[in-house]
């Protein structure tokens, strides 16, 4: 469900930059003046605010189209993905647990020395949409968060990864992205009731 090799490369690049500068980025750094921008995934109409202009990649696999929006940050990387299930039955949910495993595996495929694993996995609902959320921890002090949302015809994934010594920024930015998500109105998922004859 999720390909995150580009996410992985951006996270490693910016984490390396933070290590080189002792975790403090200079005022001249590309990451110093964070300017949050509203990003719209035009096929779905879903909007999210990100701390800069994202690198965008599009994929199509087994009838599912997806778009990844990833921004390098001073601590690693932050991004979201939107997956479309064309012709998806409104009463058939997305498999969020498989999506979580695919996201972590996708990140880990880039470099075995920078492996992540998920912890504190929990499910919930918000605005009628089911979600699955987890904390991410990994080698070399990496930390992060991921949330996968079943939005009916679309699934949304938000993920951030950074260095442990900048955990406060990782946590803050992740929460800010989640709070910024706006989705077009959609009817809550309902299972059709059998017809009753009178």
pLDDT in tens, 79-111: 999 988 765 666 678 889 988 888 888 788 766
* Cβ neighbours of residue 62 closer than 8 Å, sequence gap 6 or more: none
Q: Token pair for residue 61?
A: 């696999």
Q: Is 122 inside a domain boundary?
A: yes
Q: How many CA atoms lie within 13 A of 13 on its CB side?
A: 14
Q: Is 194 inside a domain boundary?
A: no
Q: Name the residue range of residue 124's domain.
A: 5-180
Higher-confidence residue of 174 and 34: namely: 174
Q: What is the pTM of this model?
A: 0.78
Q: Token pair for residue 46?
A: 């879903």
Edge-to-edge strands, sheet with 55-61: 55-61, 64-72, 76-84, 154-163, 142-151, 129-138, 116-126
Q: Is 188 inside a domain boundary?
A: no
Q: Is 128 inside a domain boundary?
A: yes
Cα dihedral: 110, 5, 72, 79 (round 10): -130
pLDDT tops 90 at residue 153: no
- Count up the domains in the chain and report the number: 1
Q: Is 191 inside a domain boundary?
A: no
* CATH number of the domain to which 30 belongs: 3.40.1000.10
Q: Is 89 inside a domain boundary?
A: yes
């Amino acid at each position: 469900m999720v390909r995150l090799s580009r996410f992985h490369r951006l996270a490693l690049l910016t984490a390396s930059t933070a290590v080189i500068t002792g975790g403090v980025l200079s005022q001249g750094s590309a990451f110093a003046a964070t300017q949050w921008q509203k990003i719209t995934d035009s096929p779905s109409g879903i909007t999210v605010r990100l701390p800069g202009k994202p690198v965008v990649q599009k994929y199509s696999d087994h009838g599912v189209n997806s778009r990844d929006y990833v921004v390098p940050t001073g601590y690693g990387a932050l991004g979201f993905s939107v997956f479309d299930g064309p012709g998806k039955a409104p009463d058939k949910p997305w498999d969020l647990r498989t999506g979580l495993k695919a996201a972590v595996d996708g990140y880990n495929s880039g470099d075995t020395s920078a492996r992540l694993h998920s912890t504190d996995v929990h499910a919930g609902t918000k605005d009628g949409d089911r979600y699955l959320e987890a904390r991410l921890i990994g080698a070399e002090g990496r930390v992060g968060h991921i949330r996968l949302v079943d939005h009916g015809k679309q699934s949304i994934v938000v993920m951030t990864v950074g260095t442990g010594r900048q955990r406060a920024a990782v946590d803050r930015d992740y929460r800010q992205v989640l709070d910024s998500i706006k989705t077009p109105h959609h009817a809550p998922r309902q299972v059709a009731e059998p017809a009753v004859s009178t």
